[in-house]
Amino acid sequence: MNAICLYFQIHQPFRLKRYRFFDIGNDHYYYDDFANDEIITRMAEKSYLPANKMLLDMINESGKKFKVAFSISGTAIEQFQQYVPEFIDSLKVLVNTGCVEFLSEPYSHSLASLSSPEEFHRQVKMHDNLIYELFGQKPKVFKNTEYIYNDEIAALIAEMGFSATITEGAKHILGWKSPNYVYASAGAPNMKLLFRNAKLSEDIAKNFSNTTWFEYPLTADKYMSWIAQSPREEQITNIALSYETIGGFHPAETGIFDFIKALPRFAEEKGIEFWMPSEAAAKLNAVDTISVTHPISDADEARDTSAWLGNDLQWEAFNKLYSVAERIQMCSDKRLLQDWTYLQSSDHLFYMSTKHFGDGSSLFSPYESPYMAFTNYMNVLSDFIVRVEGQFPLSIENEELNALLTTIKNQESEIVQLNKELKALKESIKDASVVDEAPAEEAKAKKTTTRKSAAKKTTTRKTTKKTEE
Amino acid sequence: MKALMFGWEFPPHILGGLGTASYGLTKGMAENGNMDITFVIPKPHGDEDKSFARIIGAGNTPIAWRDAEWDYVQSRIGNVMDPQLYFDLRSHIYADFNYMNVNDLGCIEFSGRYPDNLLEEINNYSIVAGVIARTLDFDIIHSHDWLTYPAGIHAKQVTGKPLVIHVHATDFDRSRGNVNPTVFGIERDGMLNADHIITVSDLTRRTVIEKYGINPEKVTTVHNAVEPLSDELKNVEEHHMKEKVVTFLGRITMQKGPEYFVEAAAKVLQKVHNVRFVMAGSGDMMEKMIRLAAQKDISDRFHFPGFQKGKQVYEMLKASDVYIMPSVSEPFGISPLEAMQMGTPSIISKQSGCAEILNHVIKTDFWDIDAMADAIYSIITYPAMYKQLRNEGIAEVNEIKWSKAGKKVIDIYNKLLNNH
């Protein structure tokens, strides 16, 4: 074992305000600005900003040997720009060290990859453009929302030109295989597959401050020795954490900052390097091909998509949302597109999960129950769909609409074509007139006669006026 | 273990939730085995289910000695009491009650309802309890609701056995805080004399502690449960309605918050038209509600079919798309559980005790008309909302069993007897 890839992910959705059914058709603003501001500002103070500062120190102190990857959703970046702009600045400083790599992902942390390839494409492009605009980087490695992945999605990712993607090292997929190698994807043989090491990631994310854990307390020394103990021939350990793990889930007083900060020192002691994901993808060869039929993710024990698409509520909301996907692709209204993007955040569906209903694990939900979450979301979605319908009446079938739009498009090109022909004809007429001037003369003569008759009229009027005087 | 229970209602002749709860709990306790329960009620009809408890009628218990023949007793009350028990009870008359209004068997007549002279009936019931307590052999006394607290206290004084009182409701719930001092006095006396108090919800537990000044240590919550539906009720005739139906079922009184339902209905009707609202039941606020619906101009969509009983209740639930219980204060509230059994999604107020144990219902504050209207709209508009609440609701309510509640009560008995 010689290398670690360390990933930090940040995502914040645009949470919805309380939206009653009688607001449908009347109120087109959906977001709880107060909650969104409060949450991201609080997390920035407790976690994001001090963690950024620490990472910068770590990079500098290690002589730039410490490297790290970030995946930040577009909706989180927008909220940073709006509420905590200093975080963007501090990220820029980090990026300037050259030791930070951004991953690509769907803009609003959406499940578009499971429903609409076009929308998936659009969101990824939108996200990567924003990253390029702010940090001057073009992401090369892709990480889907919540590590959702299967062979079909792999093909979509490869189509967009990514060299590698990272997903969850789910036991039911890997079996006896280790997540600490690079694999090839069955869905896109040329794309490399990195697997998150679930155990080592969760030892930090979940167990770090758990005093009843038998390994408690976890020290950087101990942690690195676990990694050093793994078989020599293993290639890469992918440790992926929510950025809030540092200072948020585990508050500063648990010692999480000191733990992270000490990692590079003990890594160096044990001969372990930090790599960036694109580096790993370029340097390492795939040892095997892995096929995934049903989508996997990093969620709960099931490691599937049932946290977002597990019950009737979630399916209805999801299907209803993407029922307008085709129409939106034809739309150019900016506000509508923005709402479309925000409403796709998978969080909205997560709040409707009844999987752990009653045992308190709906901790991050702003709603009292999944039913409240569903009702609120569906009310908002109803209004949104009314607006979409305003642009493209739902009474017209998608095919028909498409046909109409194609007709318009065809007619447009036909007009262009006809204009060309017209122009060509005019030219040829000109050419012809040079050869044969006589008919043109005749036309001119006609025109002058009409003008003359008009002149006559005015003169007669003048004369009548005169006689009146 | 032998328990002597005092109650007021017992199925099939019930007037409210008390009878249903008393029956369910007793049966649930018996299912745990090793329980010998005697249940005293004012007036048995003979058609009560006696498979898990012995039923004694206060109205068949002699308090004045009458020289009656076996055959005569058999012919008079044989349908509700074994003559041998009559004679045993007769040998334990403890004072001369001939001055009272007794019948040919030396018994006081009880209505078994809630008559105007209720306080007199409560007192008579307590006199009878003295005879019963002296006759029978038991380990513990259990009184259901305030009407039977004096009887429980009397039995405790006579025998020295521990007394458990079961608070199914308090006068604070019934009166929205405007309590009747006599009732309050009887309730508090029962609580002070009890060795342990069982409440049907944490909400009621807090009322007992805060409003009656009772030591929290002797108050334990045992949530009510619900009897599984018989196949007959499950398969009642379904009236197919073209339109959606939202139903309120219960007494139309201040406690049940009917006006909030009318207000919420008016909000929903502003947006949706294929829906009807039903307020089934009777009560002192019914006329006011009819007027309120008229004022809101929704009378054509808001219906008052009156009091429903037996099978009608289940037919009505089955025909409904939403069941609503906006109670201002509900100690437990068993009806949403029954609605869920019939597969009808329920909206309940957070001020209802059953909200403490239910997940697959919509909970709103009783005064939050907007939230209530929103929930109604959601259930009748979004198919998944209806489907999920229906399916998960049935699964959830099937797990709420009386035998589990019964086990908790038996645990309390054991603790008391060990300390006694």
Give ipTM to 2 decimals.
0.86
Q: Answer yes or no: is pLDDT of A71 > 80.
A: yes
d(CA B53, CA B62): 21
**B382–A378 C-beta distance less than 8 A:** yes
Do residues A428 and A441 both lie within one domain? no
Reading the block at residue B278, the tokens are 């039903």
The shortest CB-CB distance from A312 to any of B271, B373, B384 is to B384
One domain for residues B59 and B186: yes
Contact B328, B255 (CB under 8 A): yes
Q: How far is A347 from chain B (nearest CA, A)?
A: 18
H or E segment and range at residue B406: helix B402-419
Distance from CA of B359 to the nearest CA of A (A): 7
Above 90 in pLDDT, residue B35? yes
Tell me how far apart the alpha carbons of residues A84 and A49 are, in angstroms, rounded to a whole number.
10
Domain assignment of residue A176, yes or no: yes
Contact B225, B399 (CB under 8 A): no
Say if residue A360's pLDDT is above 70.
Answer: no
What are the tens digits of pLDDT across the range A158-179? 999 999 999 999 989 999 999 9
Same domain, B194 and B238: no
For residues A3-42, one letter each, b for 16 or more C-beta atoms within 10 angstroms of the residue's C-beta and e for the rest, the string is bbbbbbbbbbbbbbbebbbbbbeeeeebbbeeebeebbee
Q: Which residues of A touch B378 (CB under 8 A)?
A: 21, 371, 374-375, 378-379
Candidate ranges A207-211, A453-457, B98-102, B346-350; pick with highest mean pLDDT = B346-350
Q: Are residues B42 and B106 in the same domain?
A: yes
Cα A304 to Cα A104, A169, A246, A345, B331: the distances in Å are 21, 12, 26, 17, 42
What is residue B234's predicted lDDT score, i.e. its pLDDT? 84
Q: Are residues A101 and A135 in the same domain?
A: yes
Looking at residue A436, its pLDDT comes to 60
Chain B residue with Cα closest to A377: B378
Burial B147-164, CB ≥16 within 10 A → b, else e: bbbbbbbbbbebbebbbb
| Inter-chain CB proximity B387 and A312 less than 8 Å | yes
- Crossing angle (nearest 10°) for helices B369-381 and B383-398: 100
Q: What is the mean pLDDT of residues B191-204?
A: 97
- What's the pLDDT score for residue B112? 82
A40, A81 Cβ separation under 8 angstroms: no
Q: Are residues B303 and B154 in the same domain?
A: no
Give the chain A residue whose CA is nearest to the CA of B370: A20
User: B374–A374: do the CB atoms touch at under 8 Å?
Assistant: no
- List, for residues B38-54, the tens digit of each pLDDT value: 999 999 999 999 999 99
- At residue A469, the pLDDT reads 40
| Whether residue A404 is found in the same domain as residue A266 | no
- Does residue A307 sit within a domain? no
User: Beta-strand (E) ranges in A73-177?
Assistant: 100-102, 141-143, 164-168
Q: What is the average per-residue pLDDT within B107-128?
A: 91
Q: Of A290, A307, A322, which marks where a domain is finished?
A: A290
Beta carbon pairs, A and B, within 8 Å: 62
Do A425 and A457 lie in one domain? The reply is no
Is residue A427 annotated as a catalytic residue, yes or no?
Answer: no
- Is the CB of A375 less than 8 angstroms away from the CB of B388? no
Kindly state whether residue A379 falls inside one of the protein's structural domains.
no
Residues B298 and B158 in one domain: no
Residue that has been written with the tokens 């009156």 in this structure: B306
Chosen from A21, A321, A377 to mutate, greatest number of chain B CBs within 10 A: A21
Are A141 and A76 part of one and the same domain? yes
Please check whether residues B132 and B161 belong to one and the same domain.
yes
**Same domain membership, residue B371 and residue B412:** no
Does the pLDDT at position A467 exceed 50? Answer: no
Query: Which residue from A20, A316, A371 is facing B383, i.e. has the nearest CB?
Result: A316
Q: What is the dihedral of CA B250, B254, B258, B263, to 10 degrees?
A: 180
Nearest-CA distance B272 → chain A (Å): 10
Owning domain of residue B35: 2-225+402-419
Per-residue confidence (pLDDT) for residue A401, from 0 to 100: 73
Averaged pLDDT for residues A233-255: 94
What's the CATH code of the domain at B411?
A: 3.40.50.2000
In a shared domain, residues B17 and B36: yes
Same structural domain for residues A408 and A281?
Answer: no
Gap between the Cα atoms of B27 and B52, Å rounded: 6
CB neighbour class for B356 (10 Å; exposed up to 12, middle 13-18, buried from 19): middle
State which of A290, A317, A335 marks the end of a domain: A290
Indicate whether B148 pLDDT > 60: yes
Report how far residue A424's alpha carbon sits from residue A204's, in angstroms, rounded to the nearest whole number.
73
A22:B378 CB<8 A: no
Residues B263-276 have pLDDT tens digits of 999 999 999 999 99
The dihedral formed by the CA atoms of A324, A26, B266 and B367, expressed in degrees to the nearest 10: 100
B380 and B256 in a single domain? The answer is: yes
Of all residues in chain B, what percent carry a pLDDT higher than 90? Answer: 86
Burial class (CB in 10 A: 0-12, 13-18, 19+), A326: middle
Question: B347 and B370: one domain?
Answer: yes
Please count the structural domains in chain B: 2
Q: B315: which 2 tokens?
A: 């037919």
Task: Kindly write down the DSSP assignment for every residue of B342-402, as one continuous string.
Answer: TT--EEEETTBGGGGT-SSSEEE-TT-HHHHHHHHHHHHH-HHHHHHHHHHHHHHHHT--H
Among candidate residues A270, A290, A310, the one where a domain is terminated: A290
- Give yes or no: residues B332 and B410 share one domain: no
List, in sequence order, every residue forming a beta bridge with A167; answer none if it has no partner: A195
Whether A200 is in a domain gets the answer yes
A-chain CB neighbours of B385 within 8 Å are 313, 316, 371, 374-375, 378
- Asked if B312 is an interface residue toward chain A (Cβ–Cβ < 8 A), one would say no
Beta bridge partners of A168: A196
Set of chain B residues whose Cβ sits within 8 Å of the Cβ of A374? 378, 382, 384-385
Task: Read off the pLDDT band of A468 (50, 70, 90).
Answer: very low
Strands B244-249 and B275-280: parallel
Question: Does any domain span residue A296?
Answer: no
Whether A405 and A465 share a structural domain: no
* Minimal-distance CA residue of chain B relative to A21: B374
Decide if B264 touches A, using CB distance below 8 A. no
- Statement: residue B176 has pLDDT above 80: no
Instruction: Identify the active-site residue in A105, A146, A168, A279.
Output: A146
In 3D space, the residue among B16, B4, B38 whose CA is nearest the CA of residue B143 turns out to be: B4
**Do A24 and B271 lie within an 8 Å CB cutoff?**
yes
For A393, what's the count of Cα atoms within 13 Å in the CB-facing half-sphere? Answer: 4
Answer yes or no: is A370 within a domain.
no
- Both A428 and A440 in a single domain? no
Structure confidence at residue A365 as a pLDDT band (50, 70, 90):
confident
Q: At A359, is the pLDDT very low, low, confident or very high (cuts 50, 70, 90)?
A: low
Residue A305: pLDDT band (50, 70, 90) is very high
Domain interval for residue A447:
436-469
| pLDDT reading at A291 higher than 60 | yes
Whether residue A409 is found in the same domain as residue A465: no
Q: Which residues of A touch B362 (CB under 8 A)?
A: 369, 371-372
**Confidence (pLDDT) at A16:** 97
Q: Are residues B62 and B167 in the same domain?
A: yes
User: In degrees rounded to 5, what are phi and psi of residue B55?
Assistant: -105, 130
pLDDT of residue A358: 60
> Contact B384/A20, CB-based, under 8 Å?
no
Residue A135 located in a structural domain: yes
pLDDT at A441 over 60: no
Conformation bin of residue A158: beta by default, left when phi > 0, alpha when psi is -120 to 50: alpha
Domain count, chain A: 3
